[in-house]
Amino acid sequence: MKFSYEVEGGNFAKAGNAASNVKKVLKQLNVDPKIIKRIVVALYEGEVNVVAHAYKGMVLVDIDPSRIHIRIEDEGPGIPDIDLAMQVGYSTASAMVREMGFGAGMGLPNMKRNADVIDISSKVGEGTVVELTTKLTS
């Protein structure tokens, strides 16, 4: 099964739409709720990252019986130093993002913790791609 969702930069009202839909699909597939929670927390943090930092983005979801693959790609400023961005507490988020309850430098670390495999690539001035892969059975 494949799904895709658009994410608008700066539009916090819609952040979480993709994660909400993916959660419903995984519930229908009777995936263990603990595994669902890991997947949707990681995806939700990814959506918030696109809303917080990029101009626009796409979430591409591919589910097969054994695993879910999520590709979050955006057009945005990119990440100059990915190792630094992965550090808990490092953040470049604006005051507006912090008012929304995010921007404390925990997004990428939360995503890493909740995915079996995470792959991040980024070009400064162009955008970022984060790929998350997680097994659907424990």
User: Which stretches of the chain bind other proteins, using CB under 8 A?
Assistant: 12-13, 15-16, 19-20, 23, 33, 37, 40-41, 44-45, 48, 100-102, 104, 106-107, 110, 113
* Cα dihedral 76, 111, 23, 36 in deg (nearest 10): 160
Given the complex with other proteins, which of 15 and 126 has the nearer CB atom? 15
Distance from C-alpha of 11 to C-alpha of 48, rounded to nearest angstrom:
9
The owner of tokens 């819609």 is 14
CB of 47 to other proteins, least distance (A): 9
The nearest distance, CB 36 to other proteins, in angstroms, is 8
Q: Which is nearer to other proteins, 104 or 124 (CB)?
A: 104
Nearer to other proteins, 86 or 100 (CB): 100
C-alpha 90/C-alpha 95 separation (Å) is 14
C-beta of 106 vs 129, nearer to other proteins: 106
Strands (E), 11-79: 56-63, 67-75
Helix (H, G, I), strand (E, B) or coil at 44: helix
